[in-house]
Structure formats: structure tokens, C-alpha cells
Amino acid sequence: MNIARSQELFVQARRYMPGGVNSPVRACKSVGCEPVFVERAAGAKIYDADGNEYVDFVCSWGPMILGHNHPAVVAAIKEALAAGTSFGAPTSSEIELARLVTAALPSVEKVRFVSSGTEATMSAVRLARGFSGRSKVVKFDGCYHGHADSFLIKAGSGVITLGIPGSPGVPEDIVKNTISIPYNDSTILEQTLRDPELDIACLIIEPVAGNMGVVAPAPGFLQLARQLTSELGIILIFDEVITGFRLALGGAQEYYGVRPDLTCLGKIIGGGLPVGAYGGKKEIMDQIAPDGPVYQAGTLSGNPLTMAAGAATLRELGRPGFYPELEKKSARFAAQLAELAHRYLPGQTTLNRVASMMTTFFTPGPVSDHSTAMQADTARYAAHYRHMRSRGIWLAPAQFEAAFISAAQTETDLSRALDQTEWSFKNLRNQ
């Protein structure tokens, strides 16, 4: 596969941008190669600067659940674009997307739109502190909640992909208010939350971890978190930036039947454009300025193009049968993938899947938390990534990320991916 143009572009990019990229994992350092530069996308395919075609399992890191350039989303953006790109003022499109979000998520009585998932999580934590009058935040090892200072302790995503234990530039005075505990450990969860000395404002969790690879909550774990936080007056925050509208129309909270106090959203609710949101109980959300004293603002929040794209996406997701069809496709693909791993790499991989998100870990497993995820053979994943990319399959350039199934992927696309996976696994068996 020729990638000469992409290599030329990467040389140019490194002259002007740190690492030649605007988000670290894109540089492909952990998988031992240079990135290819994407020129366009349509449906389940993306195309690089050299004209190569790939079946896309990254889906722009999750939001392209309908596939790329979905006609309804494109039409909504074009209509909004004709009226202008940004106003810095209220628009009716904000109301429409807010209506759709609150209708789908019963726990969200009011919502505030922002421009990124990091903004959503940092704002939700500030609100939780302001509402509760407490200071400490409890998170989980390997869960990633964006790059705000207080979240970079034992974080997931690019932090563990690049082997960064934290980050220079984060003052100790800030991180001392963040407590990180093992994911799926009910005993430590209860001990931590019941400690009267900790002054805990909130517990924030990815209800399905997607940033140390896909790791599902143990049976009863989310329910225990809800029970304890309710009992102890601690605000429960679900970070559904990945899982929101991905697992079900009502997100992970519908999928598992657990209602948080606050929810953070992103990705899908922008239809592929930059977005974030946080919302929850009215009495908590009414503490945000201008109604209350907790300040948060954003010049481009509620951008009309994003609102239009998000509303069009959510209307498509609300069509009868969308999620059952996506589940059926995802389950069948995952079963075939697992069968190939068992045939060619017996006892050497673990496939974790929840709905249309999944990760193949190159470890015997099981993978149930950060420490077991870190047992994965990242060199082997890197070889698998290079194999697949060279044969037209677009995977995340990191072991500790999710692969996503989209509605646009056909049986032909998935069969092509399975054929190339078989070829890769055969080669890995001999290494």
C-alpha cells in the first residue's frame, strides 16, 4: 500500500505542530509507524491522501454511529450553514437538541452544551463541588475523563498508550483532591466512599470503560455505586461521552438501569462536529450561572452547525429497530472475531464487547480493570494494527481504545475485515 503522500504531509506537519498532530495517539508512535492523512470519508469507508480505502472501525473515536456523511446529517448542516456559522447568542436549534437529549435520558432534566468532552467533565465536577460544598473527586484507574488537570491521575486513553504516569504542569495542590481507585473493586469502592475524612463531592465513572480498552462493569457494580452515593450524599456522575447514545438511545444508564445525578455527553450528540454537554437533576443544574453561583461559560457553546448535526443524528437513532439491528450486527461480528482468535491464537487474546463497542486485548485475560488491561502485549497489537492498516482496515492506533461498529458497515465490509483479521492472526501465530 502506497502512503508516500501521507509521509510527505507528516514531514510538513511536524514543522508546525507538536508531534505533527493535534491529539497524541494520532501520531501512531505506540504502534510503530507513521500516521496516514485522511482526505475524505463516506459511509463505512475513509480514504487517505494517497487514495487508499479503509473500512473504518474507529468512527472518529465513536461519534460516527450512522457512518460518515449520512445524508440526513449533511442536509441539516447545509441548512444551518446557509444561515451562518456562529452567533454567540441563543438559537432555536439549541432548544431542539436539548429536547431530544432530555427526552432520551430521564435522569437529565436540564442540559448545558459545551464544545468538548473535557469541558463537560470538568464543568460537571465543578458543579458537583459547588452544589455539595465538598472538595474531593473519586475516579477510577484507567478511566479517562479528558485532559483537565484533576483527571490526569491514573488516566486512560493516550495517557496509558504513551506510558505517561501523569503530566508535568499539573500542580500537586490540584491532584491532591482527586482519589483514583480500582475499577470494578466493590470493596475498595465502599471503603473509600464511607471514609468520613475524605469530604467526597462526587464519584465520576465511565459506566463502561472505553479508554483502557472496553471494560464492562462487573454485575452489580454500578448499582452499588448508585446505592452508596445516594446514601452518603455524594453526587454520582456518569461520563457517557463514549457510551451516550452508543449503547442505547438512553445510553449506559438505560442499558444498565442506573440513573446518575449528572451525566456528561459528547461525540454522538454533535453528529461528528465538536461538542460536549452535561446535565442532570434540575435542583443541581439550577446552580449554574446565570441561575446560580457556579460559573461556566463558552463562546462557541451551542454552535448552530453542531446543534443541527446532533439533532439530525439523534432523530435517526430514535427510529424503531435501530439499536436491535446494530446489536445483532455487532454480536455476530464479535463472535466471528473471537472464533478466529481461538483458532489461530488460542489462549492469547481476550475480546471484550458491550453493544457496538469492543476491544481485542492481546492477553489471555480476563480483562476487568486497569491492572489486567495493562497485561496486554502492546507490541503484538502494534503488529496487528500494521497488518490491518496495510490491508485496508482502519483500527485505533492504540491497544487501549475501542473499536466501533456503525450502521453503515455492510456484511461485505465486516467480511472483508474478518478476512484480513484471519490473515493477520495467522502471521502473528508464527511470530
Does 193 lie in the same domain as 45?
A: no
Q: Which of 144, 255, 344, 381 is catalytic?
A: 144
Q: Which residues pair with 359 in a beta bridge?
A: 352
Does 336 lie in the same domain as 278?
A: no
> Which residue, 284, 317, 350, sits at the end of a domain?
317
Does 313 lie in the same domain as 351?
A: no
Mean pLDDT confidence for 95-102: 98
Does 326 lie in the same domain as 295?
A: no
Does 288 lie in the same domain as 150?
A: yes
For the cut 70, the answer to whether the pLDDT of residue 163 exceeds it is: no
Assign residue 101 the CATH number of its domain: 3.40.640.10
Number of structural domains (the chain) is 2
By residue range, what is the domain housing residue 308?
A: 71-317
Categorize the per-residue pLDDT at 147 as very low, low, confident or very high, splitting at 50, 70 and 90: confident
Does 218 lie in the same domain as 106?
A: yes
For the cut 50, the answer to whether the pLDDT of residue 156 exceeds it is: no
For the cut 60, the answer to whether the pLDDT of residue 287 exceeds it is: yes
**What rounded mean pLDDT belongs to the chain?**
95
Give the pLDDT score at 164.
Answer: 47
The cell numbers describing 170, all together, are: 499539573
Q: Is 239 a catalytic residue?
A: yes
Closest CA to 214 of 372, 407, 377, 332: 372
Q: Which residue's entry shows cell 474478518?
A: 418
Phi and psi torsions of 207, nearest 5°: -60, -30
pLDDT in tens, 366-417: 999 999 999 999 999 999 999 999 999 999 999 999 999 999 999 999 999 9
pLDDT in tens, 60-78: 999 999 999 999 999 999 9
Give the pLDDT score at 16.
Answer: 98
Query: Cβ distance 377 to 362 under 8 Å?
Result: yes
Does 47 lie in the same domain as 185?
A: no
> Which residue, 264, 291, 317, sits at the end of a domain?
317
Question: Please, is 2 exposed, middle or buried when counting C-beta atoms within 10 Å of its C-beta (0-12, 13-18, 19+)?
Answer: exposed
Does 282 lie in the same domain as 189?
A: yes
Q: Which of 45, 154, 267, 329 is catalytic?
A: 267
Residue, of 430 and 324, whose pLDDT is higher: 324
Does 310 lie in the same domain as 346?
A: no
Residues of the chain above pLDDT 70, percent: 96
Closest CA to 359 of 395, 394, 392: 395
Q: Which of 48, 56, 141, 239 is catalytic?
A: 239
Give the pLDDT score at 151.
Answer: 78
For the cut 90, the answer to whether the pLDDT of residue 317 exceeds it is: yes
Rounded-to-integer distance, Cα 363 and Cα 375, Å? 6
Categorize the per-residue pLDDT at 176 as very low, low, confident or very high, splitting at 50, 70 and 90: confident
Q: Is 144 a catalytic residue?
A: yes
Does 248 lie in the same domain as 351?
A: no
Rounded-to-integer distance, Cα 77 and Cα 155, Å? 34
Does 298 lie in the same domain as 255?
A: yes
Q: Is 267 a catalytic residue?
A: yes
Tell me the whole-structure pTM to 2 decimals: 0.95
Residue type, 177: N
Give the pLDDT score at 169.
Answer: 67
Does 240 lie in the same domain as 92?
A: yes
Assign residue 25 the CATH number of its domain: 3.90.1150.10
Q: Which residue's entry shows cell 456562529?
A: 86
> Which residue, 317, 338, 362, sits at the end of a domain?
317
For the cut 90, the answer to whether the pLDDT of residue 45 exceeds it is: yes
Question: Please, is 73 exposed, middle or buried when counting C-beta atoms within 10 Å of its C-beta (0-12, 13-18, 19+)?
Answer: buried
Cβ neighbours of residue 3 closer than 8 Å, sequence gap 6 or more? 34, 36, 48, 50, 52
